[in-house]
Amino acid sequence: MTGYRISRLGLQGDGVAEGPVFIPLTLPGEEVEAEVIDGRARDVKIITPSDRRVAAPCPHFRSCGGCQLQHADDDFVAAWKTDVVRNALKAHGTETVLRPVVTSPAGTRRRAGFAARRTKKGAMAGFHGRASDTIIEIPGCLLLEPDVLAGRAVAEALALVGASRKTALSVMVTGAENGLDVAVSHGKPLDGPLRQQLAAICESMKLARLTWEDEVVAMREPPVHSIGAAQVSPPPGAFLQATLHGQQVLTDAVLEVTAGARRVIDLFAGCGTFSLPLAAHAEVHAVEGEAAMLASLDAGWRHAKGLKTITTEARDLFRRPLMPDELRKTGAVVLDPPRAGAEAQIAELIKSDVTKIAYVSCNPVTFARDAAVLVGAGWSADWVQVVDQFRWSSHVELVGSFTAPHMQG
């Protein structure tokens, strides 16, 4: 065993000691002893604990790989996530106002990925253990909505009929307003008997929809989510914000940035997380690479009342970003790209006459890279709202507000 002093937390939430050596479940300032192999620590013993250390609220915290930061108090986690964003921006020479973190309450996560395996006595389902393929049963996860946590029993039932003895099922459970939306991968090939068994599980467990390897095998009714004034039924596997609370915080920030714009372009629009609330006040053009998600957005808009016009366009924005002439007469743009960011689109936006940008990001590193391009072109980085809807994890989300050079002063 070797002694170490933790100097800081890395981006994955692990403590970092000189070396660097990554030591999970530790905090800055702590003196620890550990056995280290290939830069990773095991058998960690805390010699001098931090005064920010708290007792983890979940009894499974040390074994489960779902959370990284239950051992730190809430104020520390909020400050650390703010610093992650600040340091990412600082690395590119960008400064802005960082608003206080808004954190989603416990028990509000509306989706979870369970691993489920057949056993000699039946089946088991849970989450993968910390840095391992071992499945840890978590009967009382503090993060999940109760209905989503109940999806663990669904995963076990599916494993009994559809898992091989060699491979664990991956069971993604999303809570909709009218039941669970369940998508399964790594299962047995579909045949007649398996289809019948899966349909029976969907009915007996009152699932809204059951998808097996991208094929909808049973559906009692399309899963429904309220987005703004619309009801949307996303395609299987579609991206949704992790909590309704976090979605509302992000939406409020986007609406603040775009206030007053008569026409808004929503890039990487998904199923309409921002397009539909925006349409209460502005005409919206929604652009997204996945046509099925746009179809869900469009159907939700057509059945809603009181919304302004939403047009849609299926387009790969990484390969074909909107050009300046396509951005003309647009008051504001919303960007919500994947973790890779929006480098190609930013390069065109700085040539356009767009006045405001609301940039929603799940990756502070690529956000900071793109923000630096905007600032370098004269745009003002007005503020950043940090949002923590992945409580007790190292994940950080945010909304940044940017104003064009010709609108300043």
What pLDDT, in 10s, does the model give residues 141-185? 999 999 999 999 999 999 999 998 888 999 999 999 999 999 999
Q: Are 49 and 65 in contact (CB under 8 A)?
A: no
Read off φ and ψ for residue 51, nearest 5 degrees: -75, -5
CA distance 229 to 301: 8
Using CA atoms, how far apart are residues 248 and 208, in angstroms rounded to an integer? 24
- Give tens-digit pLDDT for 103-142: 999 999 999 999 999 998 899 999 998 878 889 999 899 9
Cα distance between residue 229 and residue 241, in whole Å: 17
Q: Confidence band (pLDDT; 50, 70, 90) for 409? A: low
pTM of the model: 0.94
The share of the chain scoring above pLDDT 90, in percent, equals 90
CB 27, CB 6: distance < 8 Å: yes
Asked if the model's pLDDT at residue 272 lies above 80, the reply is: yes
Res 354 pLDDT > 80: yes
- pLDDT band at 47; cut points 50, 70, 90: very high
Q: Is the pLDDT of residue 43 over 90?
A: no
Give residue-wise pLDDT tens across range 299-353: 999 999 999 999 999 999 999 999 999 999 999 999 999 999 999 999 999 999 9
Give the integer Cα–Cα distance in Å for 129 and 43. Answer: 15
Lookup result for tokens 């647009």: 330
Place of tokens 């669970």: 180
Strand 283-288 to strand 310-314: parallel, antiparallel, or no bridges (unpaired)?
parallel
> Tokens 């960690």 map to which residue?
44
What would the pLDDT profile of 212-240 be if each residue is shown by its tens digit?
Answer: 999 999 999 999 999 999 999 999 989 89
- Burial class from Cβ neighbours inside 10 Å (0-12, 13-18, 19+) for residue 129 reads middle
Which residues are marked as active site?
362
Burial class (CB in 10 A: 0-12, 13-18, 19+), 78: middle
**Residue for token digits 């973790």?**
339
Look at strands 31-37 and 111-119 and give their pairing.
unpaired
Q: What percent of the chain has pLDDT over 70?
A: 100
CB neighbours of residue 200 within 10 Å: 13
